[in-house]
C-alpha cells in the first residue's frame, strides 16, 4: 500500500486563511484509503462520501468546483466560518469543538 494521505484538518486553518482546496486526485486517494473501494474519477458517490466526511471532521462547508479548462472536477473547496471582528487584534485561534461549533479566541498575553 502507498503512503497514507491525510484528510485536511479544519483546526489547521486560520482567521486569514479559513479555506483550503483538496484536489480531485487527493479526494480519490482518500476515498480509496478510507473505504477500500476503487475510484478512477470523482464520481457522485465519491463526492457524497467526501462532503459527509468533511462535515463530520468539523469543516463548515465543502463544495466541489470544476476545472475552468475542461469542466471536470478540480477538487473540493473546504472552509471554516470565521468571524473576523473577533480577531481584530490578530493572532486569534480557531477551535473546532466536538459538536462542530467554532470557537475563536484571542492569543494569550505573555
Interior CA angle at 100 toward 10 and 59, to 5°? Answer: 35
Is 65 domain-assigned? yes
pTM strictly above 0.85: no
Q: How many domains does the chain have?
A: 1
Please list, in sequence order, all residues whose beta carbon lies within 8 angstroms of the beta carbon of residue 64, skipping any fewer than 6 positions away. 42, 47, 51, 73, 75, 76, 77
**Per-residue pLDDT tens over the stretch 22-31:** 999 999 999 9
**Per-residue pLDDT tens over the stretch 53-108:** 999 999 989 999 999 899 888 999 999 887 655 444 455 566 666 665 666 665 55
Is 51 domain-assigned? yes
Is 42 domain-assigned? yes
Q: d(Cα 107, Cα 79) in Å, to the nearest integer?
A: 22
Q: Which three cell numbers stand for residue 34?
A: 478510507
Is 66 domain-assigned? yes
Is 26 domain-assigned? yes
- Domain extent at residue 22: 14-82
Amino acid at each position: 500500500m502507498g503512503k497514507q494521505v491525510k484528510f485536511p484538518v479544519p483546526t489547521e486553518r486560520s482567521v486569514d486563511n479559513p479555506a483550503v482546496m483538496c484536489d480531485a486526485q487527493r479526494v480519490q486517494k482518500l476515498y480509496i484509503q478510507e473505504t477500500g473501494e476503487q475510484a478512477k474519477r470523482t464520481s457522485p458517490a465519491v463526492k457524497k462520501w467526501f462532503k459527509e466526511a468533511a462535515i463530520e471532521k468539523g469543516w463548515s462547508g465543502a463544495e466541489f468546483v470544476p476545472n475552468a479548462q475542461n469542466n471536470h472536477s478540480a477538487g473540493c473547496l473546504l472552509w471554516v466560518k470565521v468571524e473576523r471582528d473577533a480577531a481584530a487584534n490578530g493572532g486569534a485561534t480557531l477551535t473546532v469543538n466536538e459538536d462542530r461549533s467554532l470557537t475563536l479566541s484571542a492569543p494569550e498575553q505573555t
